[in-house]
Amino acid sequence: MLHTIMLKDISATKDVTMRPCGVTHLLELQDPNHLPHLTVSRDVEARISSLNEFHVGLVNETWKRGGDENGFQVIKHLISHFPTCCITDEEGRPVSWVLLYDYCAMGMLYTLPEHRGKGYAKILVSTMAARLHAQGCPVYCYIEEENQVSYRLFKKLGFTEHPSYRATWFEFNY
């Protein structure tokens, strides 16, 4: 809270506009053995792949902070340089995905509305978590406080919250 007041005061003296974008929970998977065993059909398993440059526009359209050229460039960078995981439809188009941010947190988890309720998010988070852990990488994510659906999903998958930690994202000159 004090940091927010300080940032507002400094921004005002510099004639910069500022607004908080979200307060987040930090959740971490200490042990991949805590991931539940998921039964994945052969059909779905065969459709698990990675995102590529042709998918940037779709992800940008659905990302809460995307929809513009800046979002497009951020997503293009992430897809080009960091692990991603998606489930495609029968024509090879992504219907659900998760990316890794440049600070190594899982994020941008999204399933197209017509494909929800099939367990795709569980499959993708579990797959990405297992891959990251096998490579010796930390497995964590930030979930915005108001996103109870994602919070419950990650908790059910064995992620634990660091209750004393909160991150607040700010936007300047919006």
- Is there a contact between 124 and 109 (Cβ–Cβ < 8 Å)? yes
Q: What are phi and psi of 62, to 5 degrees?
A: -100, -15
Q: Side-chain half-sphere of 171: how many Cα atoms within 13 Å?
A: 8
Q: Distance between CA atoms of 171 and 169, rounded to whole angstroms?
A: 7
Within-domain flag for 7:
no
Q: What contacts 24+ positions apart, CB below 8 Å, involve 67-76?
A: 75/99, 75/108
- Domain count along the chain: 1
Give a yes or no: residue 56 inside a domain.
yes
**Hey, which bits of the chain come out as E strands?**
18-28, 48-49, 84-88, 94-100, 106-111, 140-144, 160-172
Which CATH number covers residue 128?
3.40.630.30
**pLDDT of residue 1 exceeding 60:** no
Of 81, 21, 86, the closest CA to residue 58 belongs to 86
- Domain containing residue 43: 20-169
Tell me the pLDDT tens digit for each residue of 33-73.
Answer: 888 888 899 999 999 999 999 999 999 999 988 899 999 99
pTM value > 0.75: yes
According to the model, what pLDDT value does residue 174 have? 57
